Structure 1
Amino acid sequence: MNSPVHQTLVVQLQAGETDRCPVFAHLAYDAADPFALTVVFSHDGHVLARWTLDREMVAEGLLRPVGIGDVRMRPVSNGTLDELRLEFLGDPRTDGDRHHAVVYAWAPAVSAFLRDTYAVVPQGQEEVRVDDFLAEVIAGG
């Protein structure tokens, strides 16, 4: 049985027009869901948000802009620092707009995490056990 991969990073959160502030991003990967990464953002012991991301999309986001829906990613470099810019669109606000946040993560740390996930399930060798999935759905109701 392959063990899950976990990594905690300090990332920079920018919500709205505010300055960036540091928060924790707790990354997790489990071979039981081989296409997905989970990221939980927290600050001062409080969970700010939890997102499930496509592993391939994160890898591509390190190289080029990806995403057209609630999650968008692209590489950003200022010449001395390479970052992954993750943009999240959340639930509607009372003014009719949607909650919006941008997170900047140090790209080499994200790449290292992805390498660790590929050691568990190599890229291109992901598979979904349909029979197990159907049995779980049927058992649940």
Structure 2
Amino acid sequence: MIIGLDHVGLATADPAGAGSLLALLGLSLEDQGTAADYGVECEFWTPAKGGPTVELVSPRDDDTAVNGRLARKEQGLYHVAFEVDHLEGELDRLGREGFVLVDQEPRAGARSGMRVAFLYARRPAGLLIELVEYRRPDVPS
């Protein structure tokens, strides 16, 4: 089941500049990490009153999907991420509903305990969606 909106991902080749913009808007850098399977560096910026974060996604490697996107389009909205309670179950369900699975299996995300999988909704929005599940240390796998 989808629990809620986790974050909105922005693709950028200039994370320092984009971070400065987010700071001017009142967001604070909460967390950062590497999603090695995707070849990207990520920063998570949080609004003052909490809630969903803004993730800055920048290429770490030359042959990443983010690099391809930055080469084709301007920087900006990359994906919308929803937290789920059972990643494999939602990936299977949404695949049956016609979403295009970018990831057939979950992968490690950029945050500690984060597992992710991407899928694509061609119609009506042409939107890349990330499903996110957090494995809490006190919860068995």
Where on the TM-score scale, by shorter chain, does this alignment land: which range? 0.3 to 0.5
Report the TM-score when normalising by structure 2: 0.34
Query: Considering only CA atoms, is the larger Rg found in Structure 1 or Structure 2?
Result: 1
- RCO comparison, higher one (Cα < 8 Å, 6+): 2
